[in-house]
Structure 1
Amino acid sequence: MTGQPKRGGPAKLIVACWLALTVLAGIFAPQLAPKLSGGGWRVPAADATLAAEALSTGFTGRGEASVLLLVRDRQYAVGSPEFGQRVASAVAVVRAEPELRSLREFGWTTLTGPASAKFTGRDGHTVATILDLDVDEGTAKRVVPTAQESLSRLAASGVEATLVGQAAAYGAVNTMSSEGLVRAEVAIFPILAVMLLLIYRSVVAALVSLLVGGSAVLFATGTLAVLADTVDLSVFVSNVATMLSLGVGVDYAMIMIKRFAEEIGEHADRRIALRNTLRTAGHVVAVSGATITAAIATLLVVDVGVVRSMAVGGMLAVAFATLTSVVLLPALLFLLGPRIDALRVPLPAALSRGPGLWYRLAHGIRARPIAVLTAGCALLAVLAVPGLHLQVFNADAEMLPADSRTRTGYLLAQEQFGPGTVEPITVVIESEAPIADPGEVAWINDLAARLRALENVDSVSAPADIPHAGLHPDDLAQIVGHYVSADRRTVLVDVYAETSSASESTQRLVHEIRSTADAAERPGFAILVGGDAADGITSTAEISRSTSTVLVLMLALILVLLVAAFRSIFVPIKAVLLNLFSVGATIGILVLVFQEGWGAELLGITAIGPIQNFVPLLLFTILFSLSTDYEVFLITRIREYAADPATAADSIAHGLARTGPLISAAAAIMVLVFGAFVLTPLVAVQQLGFGMAVAVAIDATVVRMFLVPAGLELMGRWNWWLPFRSRPTS
């Protein structure tokens, strides 16, 4: 057989190692989900973080992982013996979890008489008890969903028992993230397989492409599972890693396989075919992978754990997709040779379109480049306008689906005890010495009174509000211990807002509380403001502060890499400018759908409001780098034709004709993979998946098929100009 290699030893060894590593990764990958953290929102050394640390020890009913147990009994009312027994049964269910047996209670179950009134709901059938779980936050978010599931079994007897709070919310997010990931994968793979069959018209090529994408997912998630033992990784990292490794892996495999099939048709010797494939498509994949990985790495400058962990996940995903495509896939291609096109699938004539359509499109653009460029940029600018009204914040329990037990409990707490009950704004007053002086106590009481007078405050709980008369000594000790630390150096004041923690009104209230605290400064004392709303404000501010640094670093890296890849100045600058239009349009559409609600019902999206604070920056970084994928692919092919005297004059049309069908197919796969994550129940993942799908669709159609050719046509021979050359090359 012509071109049959004498030996395939190295290729077989690479494939054998690949399979062994895939099996190993497959062992570790399923261990990732239980290790992920729902936290990562706090900024180190920020006041809100220091306030949370101050609450972790020394107080009654407060700790690193505390939740609120809500019990509503539809049959019996508060005060009846049966009601008390059923509440005790609910607590016993939580204690039945082996890791929660040492939990400490504070609230309706531990207080008596008038002291328990604060923990009794408005309907007389609902009570609340704070459970200090006495475990770390990571253990809590892993165990609480199991306890919540056990509590749900009490519903058959007429008792609604729910756990709410950060540990419960993040535990629910973790569980739903894992379930949503499975749901997205189940939806993706059958459709993806059909799409690949239509694109390749070969069962073998489709299977190889799926194998590359699937192994990239396993490598990324398996490595993250190992890292999660020593590094705190956000629950969102598995979604980001799966999206990118599968989408990018399948796309890169398509670029390589299509080029190899083209080369093997021209050269019977598979060695030559593979060498040419690596020199062209392999170079494109390597440059694109390096660019995307470097761009995502810029997110590491953001000092917010959830963003950094997603950056690590994204970098690993793209790195493994690239390595799999340029190291492992070539070995498979070498062994398969012409058989990469085996097991052909008949394609309906309506779906079979040659490069003629793209060639004619290029010539149409070539005749009117200014009109095409103006119209395309104007369209993207109009789509970007809603992005000017972008609102971001860290979502509260309302980020969970409406049927989530945790969200149901959150809404019940708001209904029975007030909107800010679950997430109070905590004012932490720290003293250098134990607080005993009457003047110091009066100063603390005065501060509490000032806080109570602020707008949007529902109530304030402070040591001064404890009614000493008529309280049992044990109740009094518990309540004092809830607000004053054991060493008497820290005093807490809880401020309950009239609105939820994610609302603009509560955010304004946090700023007013901080201003009030600053105005009340006293020597020897420090005042910190904490709570979920304060955490959200701090993390959002850190992300906003870091955005300009990230963008400058990312654009500089992309420009340097593209200049090196294209050996041109103007082509990379044009790419960056057009990508800005593309990403701007994506943010605008994201705001219209998720913030304003346009078409949300059609897409099954129920959470309408501010965009999750990390989503715009993450989208901007990932999408900007992903856009260079198609840019590198298209420009590299155009440059090949520009270097050949026979095709130089019509290089843009030839390049678009060759790459247009493949870019469209690759984009369709990306849109499918990213868009499937809209099926997940978490709004942040929905926003991320939807935004990435929209951006790829815009980039592969408006930008890559129209604006890039029009821009190249206008610049002419200056496309390939580089300083220190005597003149632009043609």
Structure 2
Amino acid sequence: MRVRGIAARAGGWSARHRWAAVGIWVVFVVVALAVGTAVGRVDVKESEQLRGETRTAAEIVKDAGIQQPAGETVLIQSEDGRTTATDPQFRAAVTAVVRAVEGTGQVTEVTSPYETKSISEDGRSALVQFAMRGDADTAGDRVEPVLDAVAGVQKEHTGLRIEEVGAASIQKTFADAYGDDFQQAELSVVPVALGILLIAFGALVAALLPVALAVTAIVATTGLMGIVSHLQPMDNTANSVMLLIGMAVGVDYCLFYLRREREERAAGRDARTALQIAAATSGHAIIVSGVTVCAAMAGMLFTGLATFEAMGLASLMVVAVAMVGSVTVLPALLSLLGTRVEKGRVPFLHPEWRRRRNERLGRSVQEGSRLWAAVLRVVLARPAVSLAVAAGVLLAVAAPALGMKTQNLTLDQEFGNKLPIVATYDRVNDAFPGGSGPASVVVRAKDINAPEVTTALADFRAQAISSGASRGPVEIKVHDAENVALVSVPLVGGSDLDRASKSLELLRDTVRPATLGKVAGVQAPITGEVAGSHDFNEQLLGSVVPVFVFVVVFAFLLMLVSFRSLTVAITSIVLNLLSVCAAYGILVIVFQHGWGASLVGAQGVGAVVTWLPLFLFVILFGLSMDYHVFVVSRIREARMRGLATKQAITHGVVTTAGVVTSAAVIMVAVFAIFGTLSMQSMKQMGVGLAAAVLIDATIIRGVLLPATMALLGERNWYLPRWLHRLPDLTHDEPPAPVVAPPAPRPGAPLGV
């Protein structure tokens, strides 16, 4: 056949130059990893995470050359409720803590609660405060000796509770938990995917190919992330997302390609023709799907949030690498292996074994899935009813999303009661409301010691307390040489983010304009943990519309030129949006309302993490195209060969059911692994993705898509005359005509 299209040409070249193609791929993976390791990876700094007031405050501090070390706090608290801060035993413990932390050589600015009046109202709790030496962004790497020293004091004073919490210790907690989670995911993903592929293919070599492609794509992208990080800083979340997406799409793309090549050989094609057909059909579908996924991931770049930009870029790169590998090195490997791809056959699982079993049992051998053929028979017999029922179910599942509550998870919501530092954080907040996460006002003036500035600072301190935003103490630290003052304001509400956010708004909207805002030339952005959460939410909300418009419009245009059908493009968008909305509903049901939350260890969360809805929309909209493009490509292929629309639908859905089911099971298994991790944000991400893919591969592709196309009939292929000038990205079809599968008699057995 005449070869047209990038995928077909790439596959043909790779098959002819197979050793060169494999060699180029290996060199690319090795060089990318080596260069990325050599140049190192640049991670996003806290000060670069956001825009708005939080970013402005960070820039003022940076421009002034002021080092803001990571603050740490040691809580000394009476366990029996009778000992107070004035008792000798309590004073001895405070002195021991001060000596112990100073003795590590890792801290500075150690203060006693008797000097700073950091003693709770009931007198049973006190805080020893200090700062970690060195860069605040890496303080978590140096805090362990300090934690050990505090633990040593605790052993000597058993009548008191002595615990440490702060920016560095929380940073270390996150890093350790995240590292353990990431390692668990890495160790679980590959065996799970390999096991499912072994069941799907029934041969060890065939099962190893998709895993090898996905793993090498992930390795190469790891190196590329290091290189690109010097232009766009990365972070640990981007690592997890890259692993997740890389494993899912890498395996899926290879699965689509290998399954089609296998199918053509089983139909009697010679090896060269089978590979050529797979390149022109599945290879084309992979490119369309890959470009759509990349475009969806690129939508994250519109948020302006450094973490989202890192996740989007990492996901985009791993999808692009997996896509290129699938249409280049995979044909070369299949050409090299030939029939040896069937080596390591597993009894009971290999298609040949199943074919012989069917012959012995006298069953007709038909291509496709018996289960989905039966489902499709019902759907196509009553497409309107099937459409109404399936759409109704999904809309019912999606309905709870209308009441979705999003928030940045607090430490206790993220880790529950699994980590001791969570309980320490809560105890500090209970004894000193707002003290563990105060707001910080960064004041810059031409002359920080000018009378009007000094008066404004004093007024701000007084009104912050009188307005009810803070109970104090409000501390002011002036840097004379830099003309900057740092004001620390404990917020009323403490770890209750809703109450603390109201206190923050009171400071920003009422107290600041009435005091510092009246002095010309004074900047006073308010930052801190609560402010950062507030600014993140505001910026994320502002980016929803541009991200949504970009992703939807690009996907629509790509589907339009890939299938030369306005109807297919529109239905693709609608069905994908429906699966995303259903996933939102499941997240709300499980994590907000708590139905079935105990099954994934998510009790008591009560909200969906702020960044997840937009993240899920981008990821799912891209990944949903995998199945949609693959199934619709087979339907269109059959239609272009002369089958009636209903016959083409039957052919396309039934013949792709096996590979779509296998691909979906792998994706669900990979995503579900993240649902078992300790961090609640990772659980929510894993459950949301797994649920959406499961819905997409079953209800959407098995019921809604064929029912919709059956109702539309020939209108599926409608393209207005004025759109005929659009680029034609369709592919050539296999040379042999497609034969409609015979309609089985009611009750007759179907082949596997």
TM-score of Structure 1 vs Structure 2, range by shorter chain: 0.7 to 0.9
Aligned match for 2:56, one of 34, 45, 50: 50
Counterparts of 1:639 and 1:120, CA distance in 2: 72
2:433 pairs with 1:419: yes
Aligned match for 2:624, one of 618, 623, 627: 627
Partners of 2:78 and 2:124 within 8 A in 1: no
Q: Which amino acid in structure 1 is aligned with residue 566 of structure 2?
A: I
| Alpha-carbon shift at residue 126 of structure 1 (Å) | 4.8
| Alpha-carbon shift at residue 704 of structure 1 (Å) | 0.9
In structure 2, the CA distance between the partners of 1:379 and 1:228, relative to structure 1 (3 Å rule), is same
In structure 2, the CA distance between the partners of 1:296 and 1:446, relative to structure 1 (3 Å rule), is same
In structure 2, the CA distance between the partners of 1:510 and 1:565, relative to structure 1 (3 Å rule), is same
| Alpha-carbon shift at residue 249 of structure 1 (Å) | 0.6
Aligned to 1:508: 502
Structure 1 range deviating more: 254-263 or 443-452: 443-452
| Alpha-carbon shift at residue 407 of structure 1 (Å) | 2.7
Counterparts of 1:123 and 1:229, CA distance in 2: 51
**Where do residues 311-350 of structure 1 align in structure 2 (5 Å cutoff)?**
311-347=312-348
In structure 2, the CA distance between the partners of 1:120 and 1:449, relative to structure 1 (3 Å rule), is closer
Aligned match for 2:518, one of 505, 517, 522: 522
Aligned to 1:703: 700
Counterparts of 2:331 and 2:519, CA distance in 1: 70
2:468 pairs with 1:484: no
Aligned to 1:472: none
In structure 2, the CA distance between the partners of 1:29 and 1:526, relative to structure 1 (3 Å rule), is closer
Partners of 1:70 and 1:162 within 8 A in 2: yes
Partners of 1:570 and 1:718 within 8 A in 2: yes
Aligned match for 2:99, one of 77, 88, 91: 88
Structure 1 range deviating more: 149-158 or 675-684: 149-158
In structure 2, the CA distance between the partners of 1:691 and 1:148, relative to structure 1 (3 Å rule), is farther
In structure 2, the CA distance between the partners of 1:502 and 1:230, relative to structure 1 (3 Å rule), is farther
Identity %: 26
Structure 1 range deviating more: 420-429 or 9-18: 9-18
Aligned match for 2:570, one of 573, 576, 592: 573
Counterparts of 1:225 and 1:629, CA distance in 2: 28
Aligned to 1:467: none
Aligned to 2:732: none
| Alpha-carbon shift at residue 251 of structure 1 (Å) | 0.9
Counterparts of 1:539 and 1:567, CA distance in 2: 41
| Alpha-carbon shift at residue 282 of structure 1 (Å) | 0.5
| Alpha-carbon shift at residue 387 of structure 1 (Å) | 1.1
Structure 1 range deviating more: 29-38 or 115-124: 29-38
List per-residue Cα deviations over 1:531-576 (Å, max 9, x = no partner).
Answer: 1111111111111101100000110100011111111001110111
Secondary structure of the 1:311 match is helix
Q: Which amino acid in structure 2 is aligned with residue 579 of structure 1?
A: N
Secondary structure of the 1:278 match is helix
Counterparts of 2:305 and 2:551, CA distance in 1: 18
**Where do residues 493-504 of structure 1 align in structure 2 (5 Å cutoff)?**
493-501=487-495, 503-504=497-498
Partners of 2:387 and 2:703 within 8 A in 1: yes
Q: Which amino acid in structure 2 is aligned with residue 128 of structure 1?
A: V
Counterparts of 2:296 and 2:306, CA distance in 1: 18
2:421 pairs with 1:410: no
Counterparts of 2:422 and 2:163, CA distance in 1: 9
**Where do residues 313-392 of structure 1 align in structure 2 (5 Å cutoff)?**
313-347=314-348, 354-392=368-406
2:451 pairs with 1:451: no
Aligned to 2:729: none
Partners of 2:589 and 2:595 within 8 A in 1: yes
Counterparts of 2:185 and 2:537, CA distance in 1: 28
Secondary structure of the 1:17 match is helix
| Alpha-carbon shift at residue 381 of structure 1 (Å) | 1.3
Secondary structure of the 2:721 match is coil
Aligned to 1:134: 134
Structure 1 range deviating more: 507-516 or 554-563: 507-516
Secondary structure of the 1:497 match is coil
List per-residue Cα deviations over 1:606-636 (Å, max 9, x = no partner).
Answer: 4603322211101001101111111000000
Aligned match for 2:111, one of 80, 83, 107: 107
Query: TM-score, normalized by length of structure 2?
Result: 0.84
| Alpha-carbon shift at residue 206 of structure 1 (Å) | 0.7
Q: Which amino acid in structure 1 is aligned with residue 96 of structure 2?
A: Q
In structure 2, the CA distance between the partners of 1:718 and 1:342, relative to structure 1 (3 Å rule), is same
Secondary structure of the 2:490 match is strand
Structure 1 range deviating more: 593-602 or 423-432: 423-432
Counterparts of 1:561 and 1:581, CA distance in 2: 19
| Alpha-carbon shift at residue 332 of structure 1 (Å) | 0.8
In structure 2, the CA distance between the partners of 1:354 and 1:641, relative to structure 1 (3 Å rule), is closer
Counterparts of 1:283 and 1:154, CA distance in 2: 66
| Alpha-carbon shift at residue 584 of structure 1 (Å) | 0.7
**Where do residues 299-318 of structure 1 align in structure 2 (5 Å cutoff)?**
299-318=300-319
Question: RMSD of the alignment, in Å?
Answer: 3.3
Structure 1 range deviating more: 528-537 or 145-154: 145-154
Counterparts of 1:252 and 1:91, CA distance in 2: 57
Counterparts of 1:52 and 1:610, CA distance in 2: 29
Partners of 1:40 and 1:304 within 8 A in 2: no
Counterparts of 2:262 and 2:149, CA distance in 1: 56
Counterparts of 1:383 and 1:33, CA distance in 2: 45
The aligned length equals 687
Counterparts of 2:310 and 2:715, CA distance in 1: 42
Structure 1 range deviating more: 607-616 or 30-39: 30-39
Aligned to 1:430: 444
Aligned to 2:289: 288
Aligned match for 1:13, one of 20, 26, 51: 20
Aligned to 2:195: 194
**Where do residues 191-340 of structure 1 align in structure 2 (5 Å cutoff)?**
191-228=192-229, 231-267=232-268, 269-340=270-341
Partners of 2:100 and 2:150 within 8 A in 1: no
In structure 2, the CA distance between the partners of 1:33 and 1:395, relative to structure 1 (3 Å rule), is farther
Q: Which amino acid in structure 2 is aligned with residue 490 of structure 1?
A: V
2:408 pairs with 1:394: yes
| Alpha-carbon shift at residue 28 of structure 1 (Å) | 7.4
Secondary structure of the 2:180 match is helix
**Where do residues 572-611 of structure 1 align in structure 2 (5 Å cutoff)?**
572-606=569-603, 608-611=605-608
In structure 2, the CA distance between the partners of 1:383 and 1:554, relative to structure 1 (3 Å rule), is same
| Alpha-carbon shift at residue 452 of structure 1 (Å) | 1.1
